[in-house]
Chain A
Amino acid sequence: MAYISEKRELTPEIKQLVLSAPEIAQKVKPGQFVIVRCGEKGERIPLTVVEQDEEKGTLSIILQDVGNSTKKLGNLEKGEEITDIAGPLGNPSEVTNFGTVVCIGGGVGTAMVYPVAKALKSAGNRLVSIIGAKNSQLLILEEQMRKTSDRLLVTTDDGSYGMHGFVTDALEKLMADGLNIDRVVAVGPVAMMSAVCRITEKQDIQTIVSLNPIMVDGTGMCGACRVTVAGETKFACIDGPEFDGHQVDFEELLRRQRMYLQEEKIALEKENSDN
């Protein structure tokens, strides 16, 4: 059990929760996630750990309200309890001095790339970051990313803030300007990660993506999270969640993420009518 020690609304749809979970806070490394369950009838959902405070024994998660479980979790208030939290799960991100790294976060993916960006910066990399959202209202962690990065590019799909366009447009611009990139780390919607990989593939820039398939246990027991990487089946929770983006079968991932669309609608309708 963990209780919520702080709650912030970053946008109407995106919330940050600070949880007391001392054992996990001691151990978690950038790139790792926790599995959270809300209520005795709740499902298990994975969420990336954004920040942790070892002394206070807290960690923070940022979640986007996309359906039943994220909504329930987002509706909890400061002081309330989260039924279950397990972690840290997955492998930590590979952090060394690669040279110049571009970290890309799309939507709530910015929350997931932020801890990795911070670690890469401390490891001595030159860090150029790109974050994007649909519009200025939905942009998160801009200040934090700016502080962490040597240079930050911001894009919005509708041009309401920053550069008008997608994060991939910003990436292409960097490349056109002749930036010498040693590694790209991209986290966000599948379509975005896939588009980034198509661009970096051309110049053979090593690109790491963090995959977000549907999970159940998060410990390798069920195989729900299987993804195809370099033609082989991998379990994202124990082999990942980060993989070489150029080897990932994104189409399959996108398809598998949609497996429960019907049920998700039913669950959401039920949750709404219960309230």
Chain B
Amino acid sequence: MIKDSGIPAAREPMSKQNAKLRAKNFDEVALGYSAHQATKEASRCLQCKKPPCISGCPVNVDIPGFIKLITEGDFERAFYKVRETNSLPAICGRVCPQESQCEKLCVLGKREEPVAIGRLERFVADYVLKKGTIKVDKAAESNGQRVAVVGSGPAGLTAAWDLAKRGYKVTIFEGLHKPGGVLVYGIPEFRLPKAIVQQEIDSISRLGIQIKTNMVIGKVNTVDELLQSGFDAVFIGSGAGLPRFMHIPGENLNGVYSANEYLTRTNLMRAYLFPEYDTPIKSGLRVAVIGGGNVAMDSARTALRLGAEKVFNIYRRSRTEMPARAEEIENAQEENVEFIFLSTPVRIIGDEEGWVKAIECVQMELGKPDKSGRRRPLPLLRSEYTIEVDTVIVAIGTDVNPIIPSTTPDLNRNQRGYIIASEATGQTSKQGVFAGGDIVTGSATVISAMGAGRKAALAIHKYLFDQRRKRR
């Protein structure tokens, strides 16, 4: 109990599938709150007059507002409260790094555990999705102007939703055959069921947004051609999807995957259901995953579910510096992923037929902090050792895909190739072209991409509204 207040100090726990069982299936790990648990957890919120939690949320969800409605038992209205600013609540409730955003600023967190805002958000969203009573948002009357959105990840979906509500005719162009971006090809089923992603996308596309899949912009049409063909503005939310490799010997051996390929085969192409689905994957019995972020955790846990007996996670710094969410590291640990810290691969060793047989690593020590503030890892002399593995998954980050930048010459980019866009408006160096999400910031989060989509939608609205006024 928090002293004298009657409020429980600990948050209501959320049940999870048993670790042994879940490591062998693709069903969702975290099971969500019951109505009773949600109400109980909601009652921990102090309903602060100046709630700091809201400013921790990149889309400024009215957190005390929706939590209050939960305590009143009005789960549907609570859901619509969240939806006022967040178009994808069932997704955010599951994958937002709440501990470093809204919940980090919750006043309860100073002494005790913060309110479980993410879990409550997930609860209200699941409640309405399950009931199937979702209302179609009301769009303003058509204003006759058209906006093209490139990419259907969280940034593109959010921008499209906000613009459609303001009366714009929006077309989303997506390169792959399914919309959703990383939500469908990257984040695994056991963390974010694809049926939920699809439901959320359906519910926003009912606003009259047209989603054209299989349209790789820069190839089938360039950004300039979109502008010439009658779109009044373009929003680019194409993500950061070019896998980085380590450039060490043996990296092209059979059995070495980028995390993107490993996860895309599994999630988007459903290789875990092969041969019912046509796309194959090499599951591997002993798997090494390189990297320390969410992507590495997802890859390691996917490998277990595909049948691996042993999964090693090799990370060059220590546990404290791991960028992955604490909850996911914990889940991986429970599922028996073996962590090898302060190590980095120097070579992948193959057998006579060119298949991975082992990975050679060198131990590291932590030196002085680098630009990111984390202590820089340095190799220790003569500390090489090898681990026998048959599969290696490289999850060390992504770079910019060149298709759009190389076909849109007047779009300014920074040294690393990301599109330069105003943080407040998403405005790029090109008139009528806005950008946001991972293509601007590099790999970040679902909710920050959504925040960027929102800001850009507002800026596009201002830009086009001005145009309309001038024309009159």
Contact = CB atoms under 8 A, between A and B. Distances in A.
Interface of A: 23-24, 27, 37, 39, 41-44, 68-69, 83-89, 216-217, 219-224, 226-228, 233, 238, 252, 255-256, 258-260, 263-264, 266-267, 270
Given A23-B221, A223-B245, A256 B254 contact: yes
Contacts of B241: 219-221
B264 A222 contact: yes
B252 A252 contact: yes
Nearest to A37: B177
A43 B269 contact: yes
Contacts of A41: 270, 273, 276-278
Interface residues of B, number: 42
A270 B275 CA distance: 7
Nearest to B175: A219
B216 A89 contact: yes
Among B213, B215, B275, which residue has the most Cβ atoms of chain A within 10 A? Answer: B275
A219 to B, nearest CB: 5
A238 B251 CA distance: 19
B279 A221 contact: no
Given A87-B216, A87-B220, A266 B275 contact: yes
Given A41-B276, A233-B247, A263-B274, A220 B401 contact: yes
B220 A43 contact: no
A226 B257 CA distance: 10
B243 interface: yes
Contacts of B224: none
6 contacts: A23-B215, A86-B175, A224-B261, A238-B403, A259-B254, A270-B275
Interface string B223-267: 000000000000000000111010100011011011011001100
A88 B278 contact: no
Interface string B194-228: 00000000000000000001111001110000000
A260 B14 CA distance: 40
Contacts of B265: 216
Contacts of B243: 221-223
A221 B269 CA distance: 14
Contacts of B257: 223
A86 B274 contact: no
- Of listed B216, B270, B274, residue having the most chain A CB within 10 A: B216
B258 to A, nearest CB: 4
Nearest to B264: A222
A220 B242 contact: yes
B9 interface: no
B282 A259 contact: yes
A230 B324 CA distance: 36
Given A226-B252, A255-B353, A259-B254, 11 more contacts: A43-B280, A84-B214, A219-B401, A220-B242, A222-B243, A223-B261, A224-B261, A233-B245, A255-B354, A260-B282, A263-B275
A216 B269 contact: yes
Would you list the 5 A-B pairs with minimal beta carbon distance, nearest first?
A263-B280, A86-B214, A222-B261, A223-B258, A43-B278
A84 B179 CA distance: 13
Contacts of B175: 86, 217, 219
A222 B260 contact: yes
Contact of B252 (A27, A83, A220, A233): A233
Contact of A216 (B216, B247, B261, B274): B261
A112 B185 CA distance: 30
A267 B280 contact: yes
B45 to A, nearest CB: 41
Contacts of A23: 215, 220-221
A219 B176 CA distance: 9
Given A216-B269, A221-B242, A263-B274, A43 B216 contact: no
B177 A43 contact: no
A84 B269 CA distance: 13
B109 interface: no
B224 to A, nearest CB: 13
Output the residue of A24, A219, A255 with the most chain B CB within 10 A: A219
A58 to B, nearest CB: 15
Contact of A221 (B177, B251, B270, B401): B401
Contacts of A83: 177
Given A23-B220, A89-B219, A228-B252, A223 B280 contact: no
B242 to A, nearest CB: 5
Nearest to A32: B219
Contacts of A270: 275
B260 A223 contact: yes
B179 to A, nearest CB: 13
Interface string B171-202: 00001110000000100000000000000000
Given A84-B213, A226-B252, A233-B252, A267 B269 contact: no
Contacts of A220: 241-242, 401-403
A78 B260 CA distance: 36
Contacts of B221: 23, 27
User: Counting chain B CB atoms within 10 Å of each CB, which of A44, A221, A267 scores highest?
Assistant: A221
A233 B274 CA distance: 29
A260 B274 CA distance: 12
A205 to B, nearest CB: 27
A230 to B, nearest CB: 14
B279 A84 contact: no
Contact of A219 (B216, B254, B269): B216
- Tell me which of B214, B215, B279 has the highest count of chain A C-beta atoms within 10 A of its own C-beta: B214
